[in-house]
Protein backbone atom coordinates (compact mmCIF):
# COMPACT_ATOMS: atom_id res chain seq x y z
CA UNK A 1 0.00 0.00 0.00
CA UNK A 2 3.06 2.27 0.24
CA UNK A 3 3.01 3.45 -3.38
CA UNK A 4 -0.76 3.81 -3.39
CA UNK A 5 -0.56 5.86 -0.19
CA UNK A 6 1.95 8.22 -1.81
CA UNK A 7 -0.27 8.47 -4.88
CA UNK A 8 -3.33 9.19 -2.70
CA UNK A 9 -1.41 11.96 -0.93
CA UNK A 10 -0.55 13.47 -4.31
CA UNK A 11 -4.20 13.36 -5.47
CA UNK A 12 -5.35 14.80 -2.11
CA UNK A 13 -2.93 17.72 -2.35
CA UNK A 14 -3.84 18.40 -5.99
CA UNK A 15 -7.63 18.14 -5.62
CA UNK A 16 -8.48 18.99 -2.01
CA UNK A 17 -5.95 21.40 -0.45
CA UNK A 18 -6.81 25.09 -0.66
CA UNK A 19 -5.07 28.14 0.81
CA UNK A 20 -6.83 31.32 1.98
CA UNK A 21 -9.08 32.32 4.88
CA UNK A 22 -11.69 29.70 5.74
CA UNK A 23 -14.43 29.30 8.35
CA UNK A 24 -14.48 25.72 9.65
CA UNK A 25 -17.64 23.82 10.56
CA UNK A 26 -16.10 23.21 13.99
CA UNK A 27 -16.25 26.98 14.54
CA UNK A 28 -12.67 28.15 14.06
CA UNK A 29 -10.87 29.68 11.12
CA UNK A 30 -7.96 28.35 9.12
CA UNK A 31 -5.45 29.47 6.48
CA UNK A 32 -5.98 26.18 4.65
CA UNK A 33 -8.97 24.00 3.86
CA UNK A 34 -9.15 20.31 3.03
CA UNK A 35 -12.15 19.53 0.83
CA UNK A 36 -11.91 15.73 0.92
CA UNK A 37 -15.02 15.40 -1.22
CA UNK A 38 -13.05 16.62 -4.24
CA UNK A 39 -10.60 13.72 -3.87
CA UNK A 40 -13.53 11.35 -3.34
CA UNK A 41 -15.15 12.59 -6.54
CA UNK A 42 -11.94 11.94 -8.46
CA UNK A 43 -12.05 8.38 -9.90
CA UNK A 44 -8.50 7.53 -8.83
CA UNK A 45 -8.90 9.23 -5.45
CA UNK A 46 -12.13 7.34 -4.72
CA UNK A 47 -10.54 3.99 -5.52
CA UNK A 48 -7.42 4.70 -3.46
CA UNK A 49 -9.46 5.85 -0.47
CA UNK A 50 -11.71 2.78 -0.70
CA UNK A 51 -8.69 0.48 -0.80
CA UNK A 52 -6.97 2.13 2.17
CA UNK A 53 -10.04 2.37 4.37
CA UNK A 54 -11.06 -1.20 3.61
CA UNK A 55 -7.62 -2.45 4.65
CA UNK A 56 -8.03 -0.50 7.91
CA UNK A 57 -11.45 -2.18 8.42
CA UNK A 58 -10.74 -5.70 7.14
CA UNK A 59 -9.76 -7.47 10.40
CA UNK A 60 -11.82 -5.47 12.89
CA UNK A 61 -14.89 -7.71 12.97
CA UNK A 62 -17.03 -4.89 11.57
CA UNK A 63 -20.13 -5.75 9.57
CA UNK A 64 -21.05 -2.18 8.60
CA UNK A 65 -19.47 1.08 7.52
CA UNK A 66 -21.14 4.44 7.91
CA UNK A 67 -20.70 7.97 9.13
CA UNK A 68 -22.09 11.45 9.36
CA UNK A 69 -23.67 13.11 6.35
CA UNK A 70 -22.10 14.87 4.35
CA UNK A 71 -18.52 13.85 5.15
CA UNK A 72 -19.29 10.14 4.83
CA UNK A 73 -21.82 10.33 1.99
CA UNK A 74 -19.08 10.05 -0.60
CA UNK A 75 -16.85 7.59 1.28
CA UNK A 76 -19.33 4.95 2.44
CA UNK A 77 -20.54 3.76 -0.99
CA UNK A 78 -17.04 3.34 -2.44
CA UNK A 79 -15.80 1.46 0.64
CA UNK A 80 -18.89 -0.77 0.59
CA UNK A 81 -18.46 -1.49 -3.12
CA UNK A 82 -14.76 -2.29 -2.62
CA UNK A 83 -15.61 -4.56 0.34
CA UNK A 84 -17.96 -6.53 -1.91
CA UNK A 85 -15.27 -6.75 -4.59
CA UNK A 86 -12.90 -8.17 -1.95
CA UNK A 87 -15.41 -10.83 -0.84
CA UNK A 88 -16.08 -9.22 2.57
CA UNK A 89 -19.23 -7.14 2.00
CA UNK A 90 -20.06 -4.46 4.54
CA UNK A 91 -23.51 -2.97 5.03
CA UNK A 92 -23.47 0.78 4.44
CA UNK A 93 -25.31 3.71 6.04
CA UNK A 94 -25.11 7.43 6.73
CA UNK A 95 -26.41 9.45 9.65
CA UNK A 96 -28.33 12.61 8.85
CA UNK A 97 -27.92 15.80 10.88
CA UNK A 98 -31.61 15.56 11.71
CA UNK A 99 -34.36 13.07 10.89
CA UNK A 100 -36.05 13.35 7.52
CA UNK A 101 -39.32 15.26 7.76
CA UNK A 102 -41.17 12.94 5.35
CA UNK A 103 -41.38 9.26 4.46
CA UNK A 104 -40.04 7.07 7.25
CA UNK A 105 -38.53 10.07 9.06
CA UNK A 106 -35.21 8.31 9.52
CA UNK A 107 -32.06 9.67 11.10
CA UNK A 108 -30.01 6.76 9.72
CA UNK A 109 -30.26 6.09 5.97
CA UNK A 110 -29.12 2.89 4.32
CA UNK A 111 -28.45 -0.48 5.87
CA UNK A 112 -27.53 -0.50 9.56
CA UNK A 113 -27.80 -4.14 10.72
CA UNK A 114 -29.61 -4.89 13.98
CA UNK A 115 -26.37 -6.35 15.34
CA UNK A 116 -24.15 -3.62 13.89
CA UNK A 117 -20.47 -3.60 14.69
CA UNK A 118 -19.71 -0.48 12.74
CA UNK A 119 -16.73 1.51 11.63
CA UNK A 120 -17.54 5.17 11.12
CA UNK A 121 -15.73 7.17 8.45
CA UNK A 122 -15.41 10.86 7.65
CA UNK A 123 -13.33 12.81 5.19
CA UNK A 124 -11.76 15.31 7.63
CA UNK A 125 -11.84 15.25 11.43
CA UNK A 126 -11.32 18.51 13.29
CA UNK A 127 -12.99 18.32 16.72
CA UNK A 128 -15.04 15.21 15.92
CA UNK A 129 -18.41 16.77 16.71
CA UNK A 130 -20.33 15.40 13.73
CA UNK A 131 -18.89 11.91 14.06
CA UNK A 132 -19.68 11.86 17.80
CA UNK A 133 -23.33 12.66 16.97
CA UNK A 134 -23.23 9.76 14.48
CA UNK A 135 -21.79 7.44 17.16
CA UNK A 136 -24.68 8.29 19.48
CA UNK A 137 -27.22 7.68 16.69
CA UNK A 138 -25.77 4.22 15.97
CA UNK A 139 -25.73 3.37 19.68
CA UNK A 140 -29.37 4.50 20.04
CA UNK A 141 -30.24 1.94 17.33
CA UNK A 142 -28.46 -0.80 19.32
CA UNK A 143 -25.26 -0.80 17.28
CA UNK A 144 -21.69 -0.69 18.48
CA UNK A 145 -19.05 1.60 16.97
CA UNK A 146 -15.62 -0.04 16.95
CA UNK A 147 -13.59 2.93 15.74
CA UNK A 148 -13.57 6.00 13.53
CA UNK A 149 -11.46 6.29 10.38
CA UNK A 150 -10.81 9.43 8.37
CA UNK A 151 -8.93 10.63 5.35
CA UNK A 152 -7.31 13.54 7.23
CA UNK A 153 -7.02 14.29 10.95
CA UNK A 154 -6.56 18.05 11.40
CA UNK A 155 -5.20 17.30 14.91
CA UNK A 156 -7.46 19.86 16.59
CA UNK A 157 -8.92 17.73 19.37
CA UNK A 158 -10.90 15.11 17.45
CA UNK A 159 -8.82 12.18 18.69
CA UNK A 160 -9.11 13.34 22.31
CA UNK A 161 -12.87 13.94 22.02
CA UNK A 162 -13.39 10.51 20.49
CA UNK A 163 -11.18 8.89 23.15
CA UNK A 164 -13.47 10.46 25.78
CA UNK A 165 -16.31 8.52 24.07
CA UNK A 166 -14.20 5.34 24.24
CA UNK A 167 -13.71 5.27 20.46
CA UNK A 168 -10.26 5.26 18.81
CA UNK A 169 -9.50 7.39 15.75
CA UNK A 170 -7.23 6.34 12.89
CA UNK A 171 -6.39 8.58 9.95
CA UNK A 172 -4.89 7.79 6.58
CA UNK A 173 -3.05 11.13 6.86
CA UNK A 174 -2.41 13.73 9.53
CA UNK A 175 -2.61 17.36 8.56
CA UNK A 176 1.19 17.62 8.90
CA UNK A 177 1.60 14.97 6.19
CA UNK A 178 -0.83 16.76 3.90
CA UNK A 179 0.88 20.11 4.44
CA UNK A 180 4.34 18.53 4.09
CA UNK A 181 5.47 19.49 7.58
CA UNK A 182 8.14 17.19 9.00
CA UNK A 183 7.81 16.26 12.60
The per-residue pLDDT for range 12-47, each reduced to its tens digit, is 999 999 999 999 877 788 999 999 999 999 999 999
Gap between the Cα atoms of 49 and 55, Å rounded = 10
The SS3 assignment for 109 reads: strand
Domains and their CATH numbers in the chain: 2-179 (3.40.50.2020)
Q: Residue 24's pLDDT is what?
A: 81
Omega before residue 70 within 30° of 0, cis = yes
The SS3 assignment for 117 reads: strand
Report CA Rg, the chain. 16
Gap between the Cα atoms of 163 and 10, Å rounded = 30
Gap between the Cα atoms of 63 and 145, Å rounded = 10
pTM: 0.93
The per-residue pLDDT for range 48-102, each reduced to its tens digit, is 999 999 999 999 999 999 999 998 999 999 999 999 999 999 999 999 987 666 6
Answer whether 115's CB lies under 8 Å from 144's CB.
Answer: no
User: Smallest Cα–Cα separation from 167: which of 77, 60, 82?
Assistant: 60
Amino acid sequence: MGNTRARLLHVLRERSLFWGEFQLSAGGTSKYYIDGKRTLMDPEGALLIAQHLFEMIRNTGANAVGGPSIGADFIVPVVAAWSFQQGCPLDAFVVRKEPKKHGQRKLIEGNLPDDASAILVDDVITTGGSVIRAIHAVEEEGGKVLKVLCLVDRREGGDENLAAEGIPLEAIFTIDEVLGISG
